[in-house]
Structure 1
Amino acid sequence: MTHDLTPRPLNPAPPAPDFAWPGGKKSAVFIGFDVDAETAWIGNTPANVNRMVTTSHGGYDARVGIAKILDLMADLSLKGTFFIPGWTAEAHPAACEAIVAAGHEIGHHGYLHKLPDRDRLDEAYDEIDRGLAALKARLGVVPVGYRAPSGENFPELLAHLTARGLRYSSSFRDDIRPYRHLLADGRPGPVEIPVNYAFDDWNFGMTARTSPRSIFGRDMILPLWRDEFAATHDWGGVTTMVLHPQVSGRPMRWHILRDFLTEVAAREDVWIATGAEITAHYEACEAAR
């Protein structure tokens, strides 16, 4: 594949439109969990399937992390969106069924958590289609939202998501408010609920035995989350969280997340919503315009 380096905006989507959040709220918070389980360790590195200690990081999801996150969300009476790879739904059906039973939204997160690659279109499309099939067969769910495994996307994949009925994506990092993608042929694509990278717990709470990267504790994370949320709230944006049960389901990090969400939930000027709810609101405002 040749690479077109012509100077241009690489995301052709128009700017995020102005619209009000429901009920006079000043900003929105989107609590999203990526239930990667072992796929985080084997999807892009298949040889890890024979490294049981390495994959045990992901095994924490079904053994401990998911249940603890569900307890936290129930204690705070909050609903979130759980992006589940198809492989995870097949490997850990009971843990994933508990998410559905608790009334949370289920989003699409690929099948084996493979990085979408524009040079391997058939593989990228298969990840979408196998993931959809697995979520339907194992959980009885047809998701409306998608978060890209390993956080990547490209024009053909956006078109494939649209063709498969996915109404929103939550992967891009180029705005603080939702906007609608523009496909290469000029048609409207999915709504984007952009991610705030500061709220990706993997960056601060996950490492591996072979990695020199440090992990960070409360004194680093909670002030960062508080300050970033306060500024996003002041600008009327959406605070999109990218959380992982194998990270934020760990004991100390569970308490950090609990304290942050407790503070946010106590406010009367913040709309805490699922991806589907935010998308439905965006679509209603779009239709009214």
Structure 2
Amino acid sequence: MTQQQPWQWDEPTWRGHVGRVRAGRPLRPASWPGGARVAVALSFDSDHETPALRDGEVLPGKLSQGEYGARVGVPRILRLLERFGAPSTFFVPAVSALLHDGEVKSYVDAGHEVALHGWIHERNTHLPAAAERDLAFRAADTLERLTGTRPVGIRTPSWDFSDHSLQIIRELGLTYDSSLMADDDCYEILADGEPTGVVELPVEWIRDDMPYFMMDRFGSLRPYTPPRGVLSIWRDEFDVALAEGGIFQLTLHPHCIGHRSRISVLTELLEHIAAQRGRVWFATHAQIVDHVLNGKDLPR
């Protein structure tokens, strides 16, 4: 039988696709801890060598680009976060954690959160259900062993859900996901119209460093926005989040933002944010989700 084209679908079919994973009740709290006006959720995807390994790129050049993230980017980032007293969330593929001995423990020791980001930065939407589930559970077990704490959140390596991802997230008992884009603030994820209890802390490509700074020497991918042009975008995103009383969430990669011209931009952004003094609550993704669910006045 010939597969129908989307324009041939009947209404139950296209409604079914749209409704499979959907945004449910909004979870913006009435207030943030300590009287803050905005919650700042900084996150770092410590991918390092794993995207190259995932694609079978094993020559030293590409791998060294990822190694820079662990060798240079991470130390710079940790120093910067300490300067601003900004607890953050590090989403770490398990293979990255295994390659760089002690790195994930250093995150925890500095007061940051370590969360799931796949096994080897696999493209989870291309995997059979059993393989996706096996890699997710292996990754959770690995991060728990290396950090002493079971992860409570996930960012899928492809920023998307397969037909099986949400069920795997629920089987893992995770509190939140940070891969979808249906809001600026937290919401509960629905599965076929039913509440799941899983909180989404949304991402967006606008608030990610890679679309602005990625480089592929054999393809057409080139950085197209000057670093201070990106600073202007992110500063505007923060300013509106502050005005609305919501969340400013940012996704960064040590091998990308860790370079000199780019860490300078992040420094200027954090100076702009910190100038708001008591109006800003820096928090991990897990702390923010805990607050929107339970309204706890968490330590700042």
TM (norm. structure 2) is 0.87
- Corresponding residue for residue 36 of structure 1: 47
SS in 1 for 2:217: coil
Name the aligned partner's letter for residue 238 of structure 2. Answer: F
Bigger mean CA offset, 184-193 vs 165-174: 184-193
- Corresponding residue for residue 19 of structure 1: 29
Q: Mind listing any 5+ residue stretches in structure 1 that lack a counterpart? A: none
Whether 2:72 is the aligned partner of 1:61: answer no
Q: CA deviation at 1:265?
A: 2.0
Distance 1:61 1:16, change over 3 A: same
Query: 2:252 pairs with 217, 222, 243, which one?
Result: 243
Query: 1:194 pairs with 189, 202, 225, which one?
Result: 202
Whether 2:190 is the aligned partner of 1:182: answer yes
SS in 1 for 2:15: coil
SS in 2 for 1:48: coil
Whether 2:84 is the aligned partner of 1:73: answer no
Distance 1:19 1:99, change over 3 A: closer
- Corresponding residue for residue 292 of structure 2: 282
Whether 2:264 is the aligned partner of 1:255: answer yes
- Corresponding residue for residue 220 of structure 1: 229
Q: CA deviation at 1:17?
A: 4.1
- Corresponding residue for residue 106 of structure 2: 98
Whether 2:179 is the aligned partner of 1:171: answer yes
The higher radius of gyration belongs to 2
Q: CA deviation at 1:174?
A: 1.2
Verify the 8 A CA contact 1:21 1:271 in the aligned structure 2: no
Name the aligned partner's letter for residue 254 of structure 1. Answer: I
Distance 1:24 1:196, change over 3 A: farther
1:65-92 C-alpha deviation (Å, 9 max, x unpaired):
1111111111112110001111111111
Aligned positions, number: 283
SS in 1 for 2:26: coil
Name the aligned partner's letter for residue 206 of structure 1. Answer: M
Q: CA deviation at 1:184?
A: 4.0
Name the aligned partner's letter for residue 48 of structure 2. Answer: A
Q: After TM superposition, what 4+ stretches of structure 1 lie above 4 angstroms from structure 2?
A: 1-5
Distance 1:79 1:18, change over 3 A: closer
Q: CA deviation at 1:233?
A: 2.5
Name the aligned partner's letter for residue 276 of structure 1. Answer: A
- Percentage of matched positions with identical amino acids: 31
Distance 1:17 1:280, change over 3 A: closer
Bigger mean CA offset, 73-82 vs 150-159: 150-159
Verify the 8 A CA contact 1:168 1:279 in the aligned structure 2: yes
Bigger mean CA offset, 82-91 vs 225-234: 225-234
Distance (whole Å) between structure 2 residues aligned to residue 135 and residue 72 of structure 1: 24
Verify the 8 A CA contact 1:183 1:189 in the aligned structure 2: no
Distance 1:252 1:18, change over 3 A: closer
Whether 2:206 is the aligned partner of 1:204: answer no
Distance (whole Å) between structure 1 residues aligned to residue 199 and residue 173 of structure 2: 12
Q: CA deviation at 1:18?
A: 4.8
Q: CA deviation at 1:6?
A: 1.4
Verify the 8 A CA contact 1:155 1:184 in the aligned structure 2: no
